[in-house]
């Protein structure tokens, strides 16, 4: 990795500040000042800034139990964002792998790795997202086949991709979808004349929301969870 990139991934440096620090002679490799921002840093190198050793943060993957009234955005003037809930270095490097509505609770995956999040959010990758849904009107078993066949959403061409509905009781169900259209679950129920009154994401692919996480809490994903995507 280039020396300027290494600095950016290790601390609060922007690329411009990293270049300036390198030019000023404050950065050393194994005790020797390096003024070339393009210098290739190898695993064996010890890089210091003003005498302090730097270690790159690397790619990060985490899960958050999103509470209601928080927004899945990086900045918002009105409401706290899910990123605000993370007491973490370099939060600006993170992005949300599949957003939830302000009133939806549950599993949100957050990462620095764009290819990893693409595998979650791209409808072509068929990554299932399972929601616990509470509805206003009683559920009918016929809805299982309707959602399996797909429904037409307002202002959209075609049908939704096959979705699996498991009815828990008259007002509660689990729904697994592989797309992430705007307000998709709420619009699917609206399309069949019902109304979602509460929505909670339970899992994404085989990653389940950790039952030990209270609303607003987060943890890093395990290696197994990262690799499962």
Which residues are known catalytic residues?
101
CA pair distance 121, 59, nearest whole angstrom: 18
Quick one: which of 18, 186, 194, 200 contacts ligand URA (CB under 6 A)? 186
Least distance to ligand URA, CB of residue 191, Å: 12
Residues pairing with 164 in the sheet: 176
- How many residues belong to the site for ligand URA (CB under 6 A)? 8
Half-sphere exposure of 11 (CA within 13 A, CB side): 19
Quick one: which of 23, 40, 161, 183 contacts ligand URA (CB under 6 A)? 183
Q: Is 185 in the site for ligand URA (CB under 6 A)?
A: yes
Task: Report the residue number, 60 or 186, with the smaller CB distance to ligand URA.
Answer: 186
CB < 8 Å & 24+ apart, contacts of 165-172 = 167/139, 167/141, 167/143, 170/138, 170/139, 171/134, 171/135, 171/136, 171/138, 171/139, 172/132, 172/133, 172/134, 172/135, 172/139
Least distance to ligand URA, CB of residue 175, Å: 9
Quick one: which of 3, 135, 199, 207 contacts ligand URA (CB under 6 A)? 199
Q: Is 194 in the site for ligand URA (CB under 6 A)?
A: no
Q: Which residues contact 227 (CB under 8 A, 6 or more apart)?
A: none
Please, which of residues 46-105 interact with ligand URA by CB under 6 A? 100-101, 104
Contact residues: ligand URA, CB under 6 A? 100-101, 104, 183-186, 199
């Amino acid at each position: 990795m280039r020396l300027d990139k290494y600095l950016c991934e290790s601390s609060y440096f922007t690329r411009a500040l990293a270049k300036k620090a390198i030019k000023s002679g404050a950065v050393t490799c194994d005790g020797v000042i390096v003024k070339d921002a393009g210098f290739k840093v190898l695993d064996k190198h010890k890089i210091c800034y003003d005498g302090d050793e730097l270690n790159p943060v690397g790619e990060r993957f985490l899960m958050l139990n999103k509470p209601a009234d928080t927004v899945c955005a990086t900045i918002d003037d009105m409401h706290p964002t899910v990123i605000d809930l993370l007491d973490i270095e370099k939060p600006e490097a993170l992005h949300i792998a599949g957003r939830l509505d302000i009133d939806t609770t549950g599993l949100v995956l957050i990462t620095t790795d764009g290819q990893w999040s693409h595998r979650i959010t791209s409808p072509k990758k068929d990554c299932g997202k399972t929601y616990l849904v509470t509805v206003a009107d009683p559920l009918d078993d016929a809805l299982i086949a309707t959602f399996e066949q797909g429904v037409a959403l307002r202002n959209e061409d075609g049908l939704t991709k096959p979705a699996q509905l498991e009815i828990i009781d008259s007002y509660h169900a689990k729904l697994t979808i592989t797309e992430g259209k705007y307000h998709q679950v709420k619009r699917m129920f609206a399309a069949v004349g019902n109304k979602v009154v509460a929505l909670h994401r339970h899992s994404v692919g085989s990653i389940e929301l950790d039952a030990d996480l209270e609303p607003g809490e987060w943890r890093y994903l395990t290696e197994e969870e990262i690799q499962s995507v």
